[in-house]
Amino acid sequence: MARGNQTKDKLAIEPGRSVTHAPSDRRVSVRPESIQPAACAVVLAILLGLGSVYGWAQPKGQPPAEPKGAQVAPQKDQQQMRGLDEQIQEVKSDVLRIAAELSQLEEKLLYPSGTQVAIFVAIAKGDTMRLDAVRLQIDGQLVTHYIYSLKELEALRKGGVQRIYVGNVATGDHQLEVLVDGKLESGADFSRTGRFSFHKDMKPKLVGLTLTGTEAGKTPITLGEW
């Protein structure tokens, strides 16, 4: 019996013989090294086949279509940028509003209502004078000397009003001297001086100056209370 088993074992493993089945008490082992090259070859063949199919389906002369995920990302980025821009604009608006409130508070602290005087300048409607500069003196002391740009002159011609000076004066009577320099429509130099009196009481004083060229046939400098 032992010899017969040995013979069968030899037949199962001996090279050159055809064997229908291995002995029941033995298992056939397959080494991983023999599977890896075949598996790699199959995967490579599949990838090459997919590449050829994709290249055949893609029209010539057109770039490959981007995956859907690549289109969603830029849209999200654009939405985030728009949201960020809106936040920046809101912050700017808040900063401007706070700056205006601080300016008003500073003015109230520096120029209390009991001593505040503000002087405004306007050009008469339809006047063509080119305003160059305005100089103001209160009680013989120079308080401001303002030189106008072309944009500021255009704004005044369109009906704008400029607050040229704000300061403090004691209650009572005061003297205001106004010197205006400019050119008339004819090109001639224009220079006029006006002297006015105004009274300051316990509330803020608003003084308006309306300027007119001599060609209009009106008083060059007119004082009014606002």
Residue 163 lies in a domain: yes
Burial class (CB in 10 A: 0-12, 13-18, 19+), 38: exposed
pLDDT of residue 97: 87
Q: What is the pTM of this model?
A: 0.55
Residue 196 lies in a domain: yes
pLDDT of residue 71: 54
pLDDT of residue 179: 96
Structurally, the chain folds into a number of domains equal to 1
Asked if 183 contacts 132 with a C-beta cutoff of 8 angstroms, the reply is: yes
Helix, coil or strand: residue 216:
helix
Q: Which two tokens stand for residue 138?
A: 């209160």
Q: How far is CA 30 from CA 27, 40, 120, 180, 209, in A?
A: 10, 17, 103, 110, 109
What number of helices (H) and strands (E) belong to the chain?
4, 8
Residue 105 lies in a domain: no
pLDDT of residue 14: 43
Residue 122 lies in a domain: yes
pLDDT of residue 81: 81
Q: Which two tokens stand for residue 52?
A: 């050829």
Cα-Cα-Cα-Cα torsion 65, 68, 69, 72, nearest 10 degrees, comes to 110
pLDDT of residue 10: 40
What is the C-alpha separation between 214 and 144, in angstroms, rounded? 24
Total residues found in the chain within this entry: 226
- Determine the longest span between alpha carbons in the chain, in angstroms: 148
Asked if 177 contacts 195 with a C-beta cutoff of 8 angstroms, the reply is: yes
Q: Which residues have CB under 8 Å from 112's CB, separation 6+?
A: 168
* 143: containing domain: 116-225
pLDDT of residue 156: 95
Per-residue pLDDT of the chain (226 residues; tens, 9 = 90+): 444 444 444 434 444 444 444 444 444 444 444 445 555 555 455 555 544 444 444 455 555 555 555 455 577 777 778 888 888 888 888 888 888 888 878 777 787 878 899 999 999 988 888 999 999 999 999 999 999 999 999 999 999 999 999 999 999 999 999 999 999 888 889 899 999 999 999 899 999 999 998 665 678 899 987 7
Tokens 């009906």 belong to: 159
Residue 191 lies in a domain: yes
Label residue 217 left, alpha or beta by phi (over 0 means left) and psi (-120 to 50 means alpha): left
What is the C-alpha separation between 111 and 59, in angstroms, rounded? 78
Residue 83 lies in a domain: no
Residue 64 lies in a domain: no
Query: Tell me, what DSSP letter sits at residue 215?
Result: G
Read off the CATH number of the domain in which 150 is found. Answer: 2.60.40
Residue 157 lies in a domain: yes
Alpha helices for the chain (secondary structure H): 2-13, 32-57, 68-110, 150-157
